[in-house]
């Protein structure tokens, strides 16, 4: 009698796990699809032949003493931005990426996913890049919605990553139980 009751409890837990697993999967299918595809692209970005992530070009010298000032380099990047990318798009910087070993500085702009690589010594243009990897990363972590809705503190990204992290945890636990539970039930009922 005790064994039958235990078996019924195991079967009930399996049904609950299956329902949670199925419901979570159905509700979040689109988000899981987006995360998986964007994650694949991000994993391959350095091996995409420059399609997803532009290569870092080599400048003249890695000796910082030979470099122009950051202010001069920034002015050059701004002029190149206006001449080659857009006269109307904001030139607000997201970051300045100094690659000393490459002799190159990269100016990454906040709007439009643009980057400009300059030689640190001469200030000459090495490469203009459309930063597809940044766009894919923003899609992957949900921060693209914060940009779209102009939220102040990344609230959408925080909610999105929390929900998706908890969902993945639930998927892992229920998926394990859907695999392990039937094995456990068979082992309990196997004759000694």
| Residue 106: closest CA among 55, 45, 52, 65 | 55
Contact 103, 120 (CB under 8 A): yes
pLDDT at 187: 77
The CA distance from 160 to 118, in Å, is: 36
The CA distance from 142 to 147, in Å, is: 9
At a CB cut-off of 8 Å and minimum separation 6, what does 17 contact? Answer: 173, 174, 177, 178, 181
The CA distance from 141 to 113, in Å, is: 16
Q: How far is CA 97 from CA 6, 104, 149, in A?
A: 61, 9, 27
pLDDT at 88: 96
| Domain ranges (residues) in the chain | 1-53+152-192, 55-130
Using the Cα atoms of residue 106, residue 108, residue 112 and residue 113 in order, give the sign of their dihedral. Answer: positive
Contact 131, 108 (CB under 8 A): yes
pTM listed for this prediction:
0.82
Helix locations, the chain, DSSP H: 2-27, 29-44, 70-84, 132-141, 143-149, 155-189
| Residue 76: closest CA among 59, 56, 101, 100 | 59
Q: What residues of the chain score a pLDDT lower than 50?
A: none
pLDDT at 192: 52
The CA distance from 110 to 84, in Å, is: 17
Q: How many CB atoms lie within 10 A of CB 123?
A: 20
């Amino acid at each position: 009698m005790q064994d039958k009751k235990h078996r019924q409890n195991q079967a009930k837990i399996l049904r609950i796990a299956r329902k949670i697993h199925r419901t979570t999967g159905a509700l979040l299918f689109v988000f899981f699809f987006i995360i998986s595809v964007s994650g694949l692209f991000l994993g391959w970005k350095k091996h995409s032949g420059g399609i997803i992530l532009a290569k870092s070009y080599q400048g003249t010298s890695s000796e910082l003493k030979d470099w122009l000032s950051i202010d001069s380099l920034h002015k050059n990047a701004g002029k190149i931005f206006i001449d080659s990318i857009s006269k109307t798009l904001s030139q607000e910087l997201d970051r300045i990426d100094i690659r000393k070993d490459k002799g190159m500085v990269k100016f990454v702009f906040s709007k439009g996913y643009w980057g400009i690589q300059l030689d640190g010594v001469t200030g000459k243009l090495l490469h203009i890049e459309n930063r597809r990897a940044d766009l894919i990363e923003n899609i992957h972590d949900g921060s693209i919605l914060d940009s779209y809705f102009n939220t102040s503190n990344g609230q959408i990204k925080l909610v999105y990553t929390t929900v998706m992290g908890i969902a993945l945890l639930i998927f892992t636990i229920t998926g394990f139980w859907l695999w392990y539970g039937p094995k456990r039930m068979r082992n309990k009922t196997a004759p000694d």
